[in-house]
Structure 1
């Protein structure tokens, strides 16, 4: 499977993405010709090498009528329907613009039907989004991954006045996406860039288990004194593996002054919250030689704030630790089998040599034992047979 990894060490924008794809080998002259088949006005894509802080990148500029603008979402969606994109590409591009419109509508407190795109309706945004999908078609990419995103601090002039960075629409689009703050007063992640990558990328984190084959750099328009304003785009083949990788959130706290009877309710409530993966408790010896216990929660990364509040509310702790880590898991699935007492659920997976293994699911076997009024070990024996 061919993948692309967007290393956004200096942010991401629409033109940076196009530049990175061009550096990987996408023919933007062909993209330009395809765009001019259906866009309401003619455009030109100016592609040029750009040396940025000693690294050679590819700069892409859109040459078109600056006055041309498409303010409403239905106008843009009509243009997409007339394009040469495939149905899947039209759906993906429509999702990008719909998410942009939804973010703007939320920020300005208006309905989706009344939202005006302002800068986002300019011709270069149309070219950035549609051109992106035309370019990746040439590269035959199966899946996209992205690094966590750097967010600047400062202010930028926009159509409504001076706004804080990152732009309000950008922060809206990045809900649930791993980000980190940097000392920069340049807009690093634009709404268009955020909308594209959060639509196409399946994961945000370290480089996946893959073999890099091509590396390209897309150049941004502004210059930073400390970091090259580039995006690194890496294409390659996924490394065959029997394991899967994912990013999880880990939340921990150590307590020595809480009634341990409360833990039963804590466990019950934990698994009722969306995003809960697992919870465990270990005995620990704390300061002043006090016996206590450490609670560790495994959760989806986007739900860390929810579970932080949960522990602060449901335990006696005054503080918790939280972080994100990579977890390697073996792909598995649940399967129903037939026993003499009825159906039971088993968990099935494959070893590296392809051999199939399974284990009974406790809850299913317990329910079967209670219904059939037989012992749990007998149900397990039946399942193993």
Structure 2
């Protein structure tokens, strides 16, 4: 069985846009591809910094967006205070908009104050070369911030003008984070509780408490755990909180896991602890005791006589995605000779509650029965084999040192579609190629 590739964001020093990008680049995100994507946005007035810096003696990736000094907007009417990816914000509201920044995390530079609403930002995003899924994620992150600012300022979303999130540096941060996460080809993202500072920050609208209203609105709306620390100032920025919210799967770390890669993104401010965002690629591991437990399983059953076939198919998909070992239906006759079906779910004991929740939420049943069963399973492993049609995946099932080869359906289907050959013909070719692993 293929192990899930999990991206874990460890936010013990908060999270911001540039720290996230730095950590993802350090983790092995596609830098060259990112530069091409950013060039396709057709925006100028900035240059990127890629480097290293030490935080409490730990070497971390330092990413920053530097705006060109001539790139300013002289409009003084702001609907949105600037705290994109920084912390202690001291803002001089003169005509030139010079900003003095003491930033924990992101951009330590002079900022652009181009006012853009969400529609303007989406126009820029739509120019981007790349996957539609990445564009959609970028739009989702901006929408999360827009909704939070809308609530904070009591304005409709379409009337929220960004000189923070609409600024070039934030567009770069959000596009970069979405692209790099996609380039890592992870199956899901787990986000730790967000560590936040205390006290106040000064911005254009005055002195605001930490977490600032936009950040507080995001963590509330998306139920992201927040942990306050003794550090003074902002540690979680609205951009960082929005990235966390967009990817947060509300799952806990596996009880046991192996670390495959580590990436560290550096913040600017110094705390007692290392001011870094740590990103890790991890895979769940199973102990010997857990492996033994797999032979003892639970079967959940319920009879259903008032559901459509489409609904039943959806429920099966949900249960399998949640980790059920098997799901099947059998036809039955219920009271008054009503034709119906019985839903059967095979799972581990520690999965029962999750499986029951899916069944109760997605079907019309009002009761589930369960019982324990034992099963004996063969040793299984995946293997890539070379065939005359290219590489194909097979599953090898072993018993007492002897293995049988079974071509994987998805692999056979893909080759069949590419070559135009029939499924059975491709299946036979793949099976023959895998016979050398049998015996």
> Which interval holds the TM-score relative to the shorter structure?
0.5 to 0.7
**Could you say if the C-alpha distance between residues 329 and 78 of structure 1 is closer, same or farther in structure 2, counting changes exceeding 3 Å?**
closer
Q: How does 1:1-385 map to 2 (within 5 A)?
A: 1-41=4-44, 43-65=46-68, 66-67=111-112, 69-175=114-220, 176-203=223-250, 205-206=252-253, 209-224=256-271, 226-239=272-285, 335=329, 337-339=331-333, 341-342=337-338, 343-350=340-347
Structure 2 residue ranges without an equivalent (≥5): 69-110, 294-321, 350-354, 368-439
Q: What is the number of equivalent residue pairs in this alignment?
A: 279
Q: Is the 8 A contact 1:70 1:123 kept in 2?
A: no
**Could you say if the C-alpha distance between residues 195 and 157 of structure 1 is closer, same or farther in structure 2, counting changes exceeding 3 Å?**
same
* C-alpha distance in structure 1 between counterparts of 2:183 and 2:323, whole Å: 33
* C-alpha distance in structure 2 between counterparts of 1:365 and 1:171, whole Å: 38
**Could you say if the C-alpha distance between residues 333 and 187 of structure 1 is closer, same or farther in structure 2, counting changes exceeding 3 Å?**
farther
* C-alpha distance in structure 2 between counterparts of 1:183 and 1:366, whole Å: 48
Per the alignment, residue 317 of structure 2 pairs with: none
**Could you say if the C-alpha distance between residues 152 and 349 of structure 1 is closer, same or farther in structure 2, counting changes exceeding 3 Å?**
same
Tell me the TM-score normalised to structure 2 length.
0.57
Shift, 1:151, TM fit? 2.1
**Could you say if the C-alpha distance between residues 365 and 219 of structure 1 is closer, same or farther in structure 2, counting changes exceeding 3 Å?**
closer
CA RMSD of aligned residues (A): 3.4
* C-alpha distance in structure 2 between counterparts of 1:57 and 1:364, whole Å: 52
Tell me the TM-score normalised to structure 1 length.
0.65
Cα deviation 1:29-53 (Å, max 9, x = unaligned):
5423320222322532211111100
Shift, 1:187, TM fit? 0.9
Deviates more, 1:36-45 or 1:226-235: 36-45
* C-alpha distance in structure 2 between counterparts of 1:57 and 1:51, whole Å: 6
Q: Is the 8 A contact 2:47 2:65 kept in 1?
A: yes
Q: Is the 8 A contact 2:40 2:127 kept in 1?
A: no
Shift, 1:85, TM fit? 3.0
* C-alpha distance in structure 1 between counterparts of 2:35 and 2:260, whole Å: 26
* C-alpha distance in structure 2 between counterparts of 1:68 and 1:51, whole Å: 31
* C-alpha distance in structure 1 between counterparts of 2:178 and 2:365, whole Å: 49
Q: Is the 8 A contact 2:13 2:196 kept in 1?
A: no
* C-alpha distance in structure 1 between counterparts of 2:184 and 2:147, whole Å: 30
**Could you say if the C-alpha distance between residues 162 and 332 of structure 1 is closer, same or farther in structure 2, counting changes exceeding 3 Å?**
farther
* C-alpha distance in structure 1 between counterparts of 2:154 and 2:33, whole Å: 40
**Could you say if the C-alpha distance between residues 93 and 87 of structure 1 is closer, same or farther in structure 2, counting changes exceeding 3 Å?**
same
**Could you say if the C-alpha distance between residues 329 and 223 of structure 1 is closer, same or farther in structure 2, counting changes exceeding 3 Å?**
same
Shift, 1:113, TM fit? 1.1
* C-alpha distance in structure 1 between counterparts of 2:211 and 2:366, whole Å: 52
Structure 1 residue ranges without an equivalent (≥5): 244-327, 353-357, 368-385
Shift, 1:137, TM fit? 2.9
Q: Is the 8 A contact 1:178 1:204 kept in 2?
A: no
* C-alpha distance in structure 2 between counterparts of 1:169 and 1:6, whole Å: 21
* C-alpha distance in structure 1 between counterparts of 2:176 and 2:24, whole Å: 10
* C-alpha distance in structure 2 between counterparts of 1:49 and 1:366, whole Å: 58
**Could you say if the C-alpha distance between residues 364 and 203 of structure 1 is closer, same or farther in structure 2, counting changes exceeding 3 Å?**
closer
What secondary structure does 1:113 align onto? Answer: helix
Shift, 1:178, TM fit? 1.4
Per the alignment, residue 418 of structure 2 pairs with: none
Cα deviation 1:122-164 (Å, max 9, x = unaligned):
1111011001122223322221001111121111122322211
What secondary structure does 1:46 align onto? Answer: strand
**Could you say if the C-alpha distance between residues 42 and 143 of structure 1 is closer, same or farther in structure 2, counting changes exceeding 3 Å?**
farther
* C-alpha distance in structure 2 between counterparts of 1:87 and 1:77, whole Å: 13
